[in-house]
């Protein structure tokens, strides 16, 4: 009798609706819009489907074998890995440094505070993030223009005549670096604001105690701010890494054909051209599977290293951040 009464209490409308709204529906949407398309793409990667036929001829792992010997795809993978290594590292270092300046980089006397006018800096630096990526790419395409671009105009105005008509996006030695600068410029303000919020979550007393102990701004940033915002840094690194592997919009706006000597060609550009220009959807899906596996490996590596560092920080003898 008591069991039946308890069962009726558990199956109230509120409880059932809560489970349906917050569990059943999200899981169903995830299955339909994430897992099913991924498994469908994985199946297409085992076929020679052109994308415009009703049937798909099964070819097994031939597409993956073809990718392994495709020099153009290997180049695209290498360029994507360059973005994966450089973009998150540079963006997060700059964002974290600016966040430290805006939170405790002010006067060394009195209360711990950031630079004067820090609120203004946060608002202004956030602007690039709200501008659509394609607009940013088009604008910087004009900035990098060899004959009428702002960058070459400023450099030649300073007396650097070697930059007259210099093609930043047309030179294999500078095309990727110029692209990375655009991506970093777009995201550094957003993650700076994110880190400012995370640093402000650390008790002010800890910063004041560090100042009394003689810790400088750099030591405070490394020993207090960085460990205190480790979770935010790890999450930001994951998001930036995923974006770096899928930076299609910026690359398509700045160098839609892969740049000089394919120096800026990335996996997503190769997927687009293979599927929609060459009509080889099966091969393009194989590229997509490779990209997904690289993304999963990156996420697993980041969280694995993060857990390892957390365990090390909890071991005896590592409790003091200023020791």
pTM metric for this prediction:
0.86
pLDDT of residue 88: 95
Q: 71-311 domain in CATH 3.40.50.720?
A: no
What does the block give as tokens for 256? 């839609």
Cα gap 299→37, rounded to integer Å: 20
DSSP 47: B
Give the domain ranges of the chain.
Answer: 71-311
pLDDT, one tens digit for every residue, the chain (323 residues): 455 555 555 667 777 787 888 888 999 999 999 899 999 999 999 999 988 888 889 999 999 999 999 999 999 999 999 999 999 999 999 999 999 998 888 776 666 777 777 788 888 888 889 899 999 999 999 999 998 889 999 999 998 888 888 999 999 999 999 999 999 999 999 999 999 999 999 988 898 888 888 888 889 999 899 988 988 999 999 999 999 998 899 999 999 889 899 999 999 999 999 999 999 999 999 999 999 999 999 999 998 888 887 777 666 555 444 54
From residue 298, alpha-carbon distances to 79, 234, 249, 250, 311 in Å are 15, 12, 21, 21, 20
- 260 close to 168: Cβ distance less than 8 angstroms: no
Cα gap 62→297, rounded to integer Å: 23
Residue where the block lists tokens 């009509």: 279
Distance between first and last Cα of the chain: 62
Please write down the HEC assignment for all residues of 117-128. Answer: CHHHHHHHHHHH
Q: Which residues contact 105 (CB under 8 A, 6 or more apart)?
A: 114, 115, 217
């Amino acid at each position: 009798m008591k069991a039946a009464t308890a069962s009726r209490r558990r199956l109230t409308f509120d409880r059932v609706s809560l489970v349906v709204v917050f569990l059943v529906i999200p899981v169903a949407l995830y299955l339909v819009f994430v897992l099913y398309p991924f498994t469908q793409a994985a199946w297409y990667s085992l076929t020679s489907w052109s994308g415009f036929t009703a049937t798909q001829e099964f070819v097994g792992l031939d597409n993956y074998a073809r990718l392994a010997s495709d020099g153009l795809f290997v180049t695209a993978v290498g360029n994507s890995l360059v973005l994966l290594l450089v973009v998150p590292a540079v963006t997060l270092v700059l964002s974290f440094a600016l966040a430290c300046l805006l939170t405790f980089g002010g006067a060394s006397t009195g209360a711990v505070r950031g630079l004067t006018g820090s609120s203004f800096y946060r608002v202004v630096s956030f602007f690039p993030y709200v501008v659509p990526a394609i607009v940013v790419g088009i604008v910087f395409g004009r900035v990098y223009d060899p004959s009428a671009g702002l960058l070459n105009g400023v450099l030649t105005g300073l007396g650097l005549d070697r930059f007259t008509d210099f093609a930043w996006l047309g030179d294999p030695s500078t095309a990727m670096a110029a692209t990375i600068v655009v991506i970093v410029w777009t995201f550094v303000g957003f993650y700076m604001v994110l880190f400012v919020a995370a640093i402000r979550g650390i008790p002010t007393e800890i910063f004041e105690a560090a100042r009394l102990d003689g810790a400088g701004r750099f030591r405070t940033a490394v020993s207090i701010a960085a460990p205190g915002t480790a979770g935010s840094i790890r999450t930001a690194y994951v998001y930036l890494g995923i974006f770096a592997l899928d930076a299609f919009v910026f690359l398509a706006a700045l160098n839609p054909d892969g740049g000089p000597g394919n120096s800026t060609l990335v996996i997503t550009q190769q997927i687009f051209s293979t599927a929609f220009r060459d009509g080889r959807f099966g091969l393009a899906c194989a590229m997509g599977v490779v990209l997904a596996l690289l993304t999963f490996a990156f996420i697993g590596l980041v969280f694995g290293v993060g857990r390892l560092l957390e365990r090390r920080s909890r071991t005896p003898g590592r409790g003091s951040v200023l020791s």
